A and B are shown apart, each in its own frame.
Chain A
Amino acid sequence: MNSSVIVFPGSNCDRDVATALTNLQFKNKMVWHKDSELPKSDLIVIPGGFSYGDYLRSGAIAAKSNILKEVIKAANSGCLVLGICNGFQILIETGLLQGALLRNKSLKFVSKDINLKIINNENKFCKNYKKNSVISLNIAHNEGNYFTQKDHLKELEDNNLIPFKYCDIEGSINESSNPNGSLNNIAGILNNNKNILGMMPHPERMVNNLISNSNGIELFTSILS
């Protein structure tokens, strides 16, 4: 499977996700933001980081870059797109995903391992996870507090477009297991076609038991299978 990782000035999880993809047998290419052509890709990853230094608003400048025009085209024709952390913020800024990522409720950067409950696994990114299982991934962001309007929230819930929610170790979804104030503990969302996933947690950081855990692997193997 061919994957492309988009690199902006200020991206800083590009190498991490490329390492994870390559170790899991993706044929991966790095794509510079000034490029105007995408290599043939089955998966496009927009990695975490501080594209353009988070100036103006996280993800806002990257959303207007050369290569994003191509990413939008590919996404609209069904290519799988995964936006992690800053990548999620960029996808929101392009309009490929709806809603907003507000400043964390604590008004502080938050980085820690959190628990996620698999709410919906009937999509290409999560099918290797068991529904309602609890996994642990790492988060690291300033603006991860997801918000959207009532009718869109209903649409997300009704159409199974919320793959994960923050929860505690037993799987309860409550305020104390919400690390950033996100609406209904939402940690990631899909578009209506379920080919675009934006998520704040970093699956690429959890792919090796020797380092942390390997709960992120299934996300990538789901895409592969």
Chain B
Amino acid sequence: MKITKEIIDLHGLKSEEYSKIKLLMNREPNYLELGIFSAMWNEHCSYKSSKIHLKKLPIKNKNVIQGPGENAGVIDIGDGDAIVFKIESHNHPSFIEPYQGSATGVGGILRDVFTMGARPIALLNSIHFGDPSNKKTKNLLNGVVSGIGGYGNCIGIPTVAGETKFNSTYNENILVNAMAVGLANKKKIFYSKAKGINKPVVYVGSKTGRDGIHGASMASAEFDENSEDKKPTVQVGDPFTEKLLMEACLELMKKDSIISIQDMGAAGLTSSSVEMAYKGGLGIELDLDKIPCREENMSPYEMMLSESQERMLIILEDGKENEARQIFKKWDLDFVVIGKTTDTKNLSLKFKNEVVASIPIEALSSKAPLYDRKWVKKKLDKKKINIKEHKKIKFDKAFFELISSPNHSNKKWVTEQYDQMVMGDTIERSGADAAIVKIHQKDKAIAITVDSSANYCKSHPLSGGKQIVCESWRNLVSVGAKPIAITNCLNFGNPENPEIMGQFAENILGIKEACEFLDYPVVSGNVSFYNGTNNNNIYPTPVIGGVGLIKNLNKTQNHKFKKIDSQIMIIGKTFGHLGQSAFINELYDIHDGMPPEINLLNEKNNGEMILKLIESENINSVHDISSGGIILALAEMSISSQIGIKIQKPKKMSNIFEYFFGEDQGRYLIEVDKNNLPKVERKLKENDIYFENIGITQKEYFELDKDLKIKVKELYELNNRWYNKFNGLNN
């Protein structure tokens, strides 16, 4: 087949990129080779627009065993244990086919984790939908939630935390980010780097079908009105096969037979084989006649570009084939030697005794295009919001409206579709500041959280980048965990637009600054560009997944009030910043203005103080203050514990709305026994930590002076109503 301009366009390659291919190949590529280049050079696989920025991120601290560049990041949590984790996007497939798109997003991220030798112990997700009134939203929400649940529940990994948000910016491009966390023996981590020549290359798992061909290329282009025709490029998941594949791989990993292992994710067999060979400085030769196929007459092109799920590529030590084959046979999975490693540094594909493709490995990897795309700084909107200039509203009405709004409603409707308890180690689940998962049979645990704040990032990408790292850190601190490292999923619009590229560049700088200051490095992640339809780009939405360590299981905390008549304190200073707050955004529909400022020094001091207070067991509960400000945080503490509050407005307060709905950063609420109060106050003063006493816990009523009084039970109902109503349920 002659390669025409039309074919090149269809493969998402620019004409200068095609010229570069010819130069690297020293000839015209054939159709199969062009397909392979397209799969490896697209944004999703090559990181060509993001790489130079990502390099700025800190990737090390004393706990990091493996940073970015592998299937997942690895950190040391002591006693020979390692935690392996990563987050990844599956945005475009989920918009086209919500159930399968989100399900395979979960399946893909799980493979990234168990490929490295870790047994997955927790799943998390961050899902963003359009406005609830948009006609697509309900169907997408239903499909995505059942897809995430369907996969995780079946494979038997608990979905322990997540966030579900709505904003019209996602009307035509939802976000589905899934994170997986696994536990491994520090000495038995498996990598993708091939070693040795003439080693058998083994294909295991499901058979290859025609699903998902060019999925990675689809994820590297903007949507248009024809996007829904792309349904055939969405992969179909089978969690049952994945469960078998996971058990078989983990069983094989107990032996010493694996040299390297890589899951077939985006760009399937192509990217897995190229990546393994490239990292080892080797070549690889595959015999495509041996590929187990699900359908008849599959062409080499289809085999190499299929994104069929639940498949792995393994390079084995000599003579270990039989031992390995027995294990896969036990689990009723395919196990076929399909090729070998070579010293040619070439990807060589044979089909029906002919060489059908021969490409230098480097041309597909290190020589892939790299762009320093033009970017511009965000023009900041420094206008201050003066609440007194806007329509008057009663405080209690405003509060009731916010707590029953889609974004602040109780997410039970979502989280009750996820098995959160399977594996028997989930201590804190969805609803907590961070989930806590016990290390099986040991007296320690990890805390995990996933966070985003698109409104802040859209109005101030630099500060938003800092904020989201801080929020992640704060959530871990709030349950008593020492934060260790993060994974990030960077969801942005079209990088060829300098403003979008500017959001990305500045956001990375913000993330970098906060990560460095808090010693909270990035160990894995994923970039998802081209989130938008017909030039409407989504808000920049970096999602941060954080992991922390709890050394002593008796010293954890949560946000549930424990007692009547204990003192409630705010740690950190309240300025009453309303710009980009949930209050001003949702109740006044005001979307301009600056987000709250980040003071990294205060953030760190306040957080470290909270950890000390939890350690010394002087506090009964802790909650970080985030979206919705002090009053929403108090409501969450009351609703989860069925204990009320009686609080007073501080005397120096300028405005009740600013004080209680403001979203100043670095703040926590704590509940302290009256007996412990002098001790806690002394500690705070000694450490120069700003605090305010605002009231006490009480039975039954949630009460603020004369401005607000409601039964906690009624508050609970208000908070629970929206989802059920939206989905047409009565209870």
Residues in chain A within 8 A of chain B (CB atoms): 9-10, 12-13, 15-16, 19-20, 48-50, 52-55, 106, 108-112, 138, 140, 176, 202, 204-205, 207-208, 210-212
The 9 closest A-B pairs by CB, nearest first: A12-B156, A53-B240, A16-B424, A140-B419, A50-B154, A111-B419, A138-B421, A205-B421, A112-B416
- State whether A10 and B240 are in contact (beta carbons under 8 Å apart), knowing that A15-B423, A140-B153 are contacts in the complex: yes
Contacts of B239 in A (CB 8 A): 50, 53
Interface core residue of A19, A48, A53 (most chain B CB under 10 Å) = A53
Contacts of A50 in B (CB 8 A): 153-154, 156, 239-240, 243
- Mask for B228-240, Cβ within 8 A of A = 1, else 0? 0000000000111
Determine whether the beta carbon of B731 is less than 8 Å from that of A176. Answer: yes
Determine whether the beta carbon of A109 is less than 8 Å from that of B421. Answer: no
Q: How far is the CA of A192 from the CA of B287 in the complex (A)?
A: 60
Determine whether the beta carbon of B417 is less than 8 Å from that of A111. Answer: yes
Determine whether the beta carbon of A54 is less than 8 Å from that of B154. Answer: yes
Determine whether the beta carbon of A202 is less than 8 Å from that of B421. Answer: yes
Determine whether the beta carbon of A140 is less than 8 Å from that of B422. Answer: yes
A-B pairs under 8 A by CB, number:
88
Q: Which of B150, B421, B422 contacts A212 (CB 8 A)?
A: B421
Q: How far is the CA of A148 from the CA of B553 in the complex (A)?
A: 45
Determine whether the beta carbon of A109 is less than 8 Å from that of B150. Answer: yes
Contacts of A210 in B (CB 8 A): 427, 438, 553-554
Chain B stretch 414-430: residues in CB contact (< 8 A) with chain A? 416-427
- State whether A9 and B240 are in contact (beta carbons under 8 Å apart), knowing that A109-B149, A111-B416, A111-B419 are contacts in the complex: yes
Q: Is B691 an interface residue (CB 8 A)?
A: no
Contacts of B731 in A (CB 8 A): 176
Contacts of A208 in B (CB 8 A): 424
- State whether A12 and B243 are in contact (beta carbons under 8 Å apart), knowing that A109-B417, A111-B418 are contacts in the complex: yes
Q: Is B224 an interface residue (CB 8 A)?
A: no
Contacts of A212 in B (CB 8 A): 421, 426-427
Interface core residue of B149, B155, B412, B419 (most chain A CB under 10 Å) = B419
How many residues of chain B get a CB closer than 8 Å to chain A's CBs? 35
Contacts of B427 in A (CB 8 A): 210-212
Contacts of A10 in B (CB 8 A): 154, 240, 243-244
Q: How far is the CA of A182 from the CA of B319 in the complex (A)?
A: 55
Q: State the Cβ distance, B14 to closest chain A Cβ, in Å.
A: 43
Contacts of B418 in A (CB 8 A): 109, 111
Q: Is B332 an interface residue (CB 8 A)?
A: yes
Closest to B443 in A: A210
- Mask for B113-154, Cβ within 8 A of A = 1, else 0? 000000000000000000000000000000000100110011
List 30 contacting pairs A-B, 8 Å CB cutoff, sorted by A: A9-B243, A9-B332, A10-B243, A12-B156, A16-B423, A19-B424, A19-B440, A20-B424, A50-B154, A50-B239, A50-B240, A50-B243, A52-B240, A53-B239, A53-B241, A54-B154, A54-B240, A109-B149, A109-B417, A110-B417, A111-B153, A111-B417, A111-B418, A140-B153, A140-B422, A207-B424, A208-B424, A210-B553, A210-B554, A212-B426
Q: State the Cβ distance, B680 to closest chain A Cβ, in Å.
A: 25
- State whether A109 and B146 are in contact (beta carbons under 8 Å apart), knowing that A9-B331, A12-B156 are contacts in the complex: yes
Determine whether the beta carbon of B421 is less than 8 Å from that of A110. Answer: no
Contacts of B1 in A (CB 8 A): none
Q: Is B393 an interface residue (CB 8 A)?
A: no
Q: Is B441 an interface residue (CB 8 A)?
A: yes
Determine whether the beta carbon of B154 is less than 8 Å from that of A53. Answer: yes
Besides A19-B441, A50-B156, A109-B417, 19 more A-B contacts (Cβ < 8 Å) are A9-B244, A10-B240, A19-B424, A50-B153, A50-B239, A50-B240, A50-B243, A53-B154, A53-B239, A54-B154, A110-B417, A111-B421, A140-B419, A140-B421, A204-B424, A205-B421, A210-B553, A211-B426, A211-B438
